[in-house]
Chains A and B, each alone.
Chain A
Amino acid sequence: MSVPPFAFNHKCLIRTSETAAALRKPWPRLTGVVPGLTRDMEDEFRFGHTVVKVGDGYRMGGSIKGGSSSIWVMVQEAALEAYVGWKQRESPPVLEDAEAYAEIKHIFSEAGVKFASYPAEYEPSHGSAYRVMLEITRSLPVEHLKALALKEVRAGGWGPDAAKASAYKSGTVYIYDFAMSGAARTLAGLYLHELGHAFHDSLAPAQARTLNECHEIIAGTGAFMGIEFLLDPESRIVYQEFIPDEFAAETYMLYVSCGSALRDFIRKQPFKISEAWWKVYLLYMESFDGAGYI
């Protein structure tokens, strides 16, 4: 039996949430399943666009800054039915989940992190989003959350940095309405990605240097994992290739959601790339106190 060159000696392996685990597989298409749904429509819905009825017909598009800046195109009535059918399968609307909201708040408070909903203290229409966030948050050890450069998680609203689906800035993770009301898969990916920025900011200078050096080696061959949410996998790879902190944030998302798939990916690389990836992986493992994900 051959011994892999780089071993992953975890203290334990944690089971990730179902929504996060779904990220490791290609996003199943609903075109042909949902009546009236076309490939173009599905691409736009995945990106966060919706269909609404207006006075003289129907419009497809999305509010980018809480309605102040948006693009809407005319569509037929069938597009609304397709949207409703798609949304029902991708992220069934759950009105009210105060329990999920209270539990996330509690987990974060144990880690010394504020969790707040915007603009209202609690937004009932974000019930399903709170649930997705809760299930992911439950899978993150409290000691790890304490170690992140994280003061606050804001769910909902548009905030000052509104032309984004989500953001991380000065210790605060922002998950805007755009992400809270879209597909569960997109929310899961964005939430973990932004926490990944908090991880990146928590690195000691020597760790950050290691990450950058390894990124340079990996970027030379483009050996990145591309997972589809918000953007297509190829685009997500390009971001990782050219922006080191996006690589760090995306790798965090992969570490938690795609544990075994990420390790397989690392093992399959040529020696030098595999070594660089392994060093990167160890940085994450350290932050999780030796824990990995199944």
Chain B
Amino acid sequence: MFEQPFEGEVFMHTITITQKRITAAGSGRMNREEAQALTVDVERLIEEPDNHGRELLIDMSRVEYLSSSGLGAIVRMFRATHTANMEMAVFCNKPEIRSLIELAGIDRLVKIINRIDTGKA
């Protein structure tokens, strides 16, 4: 009965890689397991030396709910990109999601943007 406490869309993420950028885009509700899965996938890519010249963009524009685990995942991905000497930004155009990010003080660590510069990719 309590295995699925939150009703609604399941979180999915897709990762696309262009010459300059790795974009990890999520959608739906980002709870603990989903946050872990996203972090694992992104960290695997960051570990690959071929990707070290790229920047990481976390696209939160289709995320409906960001849990505290999701916030922790952003911090961990920031740590991993820093180790690999990569740039990272979070694309967030929803005020309520942005408020959560600010609540956790993540905006002091990671660049939060409200539009994507497609020219860079």
- Contact partners of A241 in chain B: CB under 8 A: 79
- Contact residues of B with A, CB < 8 Å? 1-3, 5-8, 29, 31-32, 64-69, 71-72, 75-76, 78-79, 82, 95-100, 102-105, 108-109
Which of A69, A73, A234 touches B95 (beta carbons < 8 Å)?
A: A69
A253 is an interface residue with CB less than 8 A from chain B: no
- Contact partners of B95 in chain A: CB under 8 A: 69
- Contact partners of A230 in chain B: CB under 8 A: 104
Whether the Cβ atoms of A75 and B6 lie closer than 8 Å is yes
Whether the Cβ atoms of A239 and B108 lie closer than 8 Å is yes
- Contact residues of A with B, CB < 8 Å? 36, 38-41, 43-44, 46-47, 60-61, 64-65, 69-71, 73-76, 78-79, 82, 163-165, 178, 230-232, 234-235, 238-239, 241-243, 246
Whether the Cβ atoms of A43 and B67 lie closer than 8 Å is yes
Q: Given A73-B7, A163-B99, A165-B103, A78 and B2 touching (CB < 8 A)?
A: yes
- 18 A-B pairs within 8 Å (CB atoms) are namely A38-B5, A40-B31, A40-B67, A41-B5, A43-B68, A47-B67, A60-B6, A64-B103, A70-B99, A73-B65, A74-B8, A78-B2, A232-B72, A234-B75, A235-B76, A239-B105, A242-B109, A243-B108
Which of A61, A75, A246 touches B5 (beta carbons < 8 Å)?
A: A75
Closest to B33 in A: A40
Whether the Cβ atoms of A36 and B72 lie closer than 8 Å is no
Closest to A51 in B: B5
